[in-house]
Amino acid sequence: MVCSGRLACLCLLLISLTSVGADWRATLVTAQRLGEGELTWFGLRLYSARLWAEGPVLDWSRPFALELSYHRSLSRETLVKASLEEMRRLGAGTVTTQQFDAWAREMQAAFVDVRPGMRITGVFLPQTGCRFYVDGRLRHEVADVAFARAFFAIWLDPRTRDPQLRQRLLGLAGNDRGH
């Protein structure tokens, strides 16, 4: 009887570790890459980006994933600050200070200091918010649809700072990869 109790505990532990460590692809089983491109700043490659969706075009009513593979070391604080600045710029006064404070806390929990070769993948979940994976492992889930839309708009909104990268991510810029 004791042995079966230990076996049951071990099974529950393995199930919980599997679900926590599950790669983002478990959420988007039939995802295909829509496009990819690179973000450069003053000639330095910061990261490569890939957009994944379960259809041939981006549909904000369905889950999708944005994968960033870093080429440079960047601190968590730099990632959070840059993201908040873009979210604020694109929100144009529609987001409250309290929301930005809450969003900053969510990103502090979701992001890490990155080094070359690391990946952060954000999965947009239209009815619930989003999830962030670091090197394929679930790091943080945000249950805030407004945050999720504002975050992914950094790359996908027509007013993005890098319209060429947006075009490449959406698969609208041909087969070239850089810019």
Pair of tokens at residue 48: 């490569």
* Distance (Å, whole) CA 108 – CA 114: 13
| Fold of domain 24-169 | Chalcone isomerase (3.50.70)
Q: Is the pLDDT of residue 75 over 60?
A: yes
Q: In Å, what is the CA distance from 67 to each residue of 5, 35, 84? A: 41, 11, 18
Global pTM value: 0.83
Contact 24, 131 (CB under 8 A): yes
Q: Is the pLDDT of residue 178 over 70?
A: no
The pLDDT score that the predictor gives to residue 22 is: 60
Mean pLDDT value across residues 39-55: 91
Q: Which tens digits make up the pLDDT trace of 155-171?
A: 999 999 999 999 999 99
Domain boundaries, the chain: 24-169
Q: Which tens digits make up the pLDDT trace of 133-154?
A: 999 999 999 999 999 999 999 9
Q: Is the pLDDT of residue 60 over 70?
A: yes
Contact 63, 54 (CB under 8 A): yes
Q: Which tens digits make up the pLDDT trace of 80-135?
A: 999 999 999 998 678 889 999 999 999 999 999 999 999 999 999 999 999 999 99
Mean pLDDT value across residues 10-22: 38
The pLDDT score that the predictor gives to residue 28 is: 85
* Distance (Å, whole) CA 19 – CA 22: 5
Query: Which residue from 48, 177, 51 is spatially nearest to 118, judged by alpha carbons?
Result: 48
Pair of tokens at residue 140: 């943080």
The pLDDT score that the predictor gives to residue 23 is: 84
Query: Which residue from 63, 66, 64, 62 is spatially nearest to 50, judged by alpha carbons?
Result: 66
- Bridge partner list, 123: 65, 131
* Distance (Å, whole) CA 163 – CA 149: 17
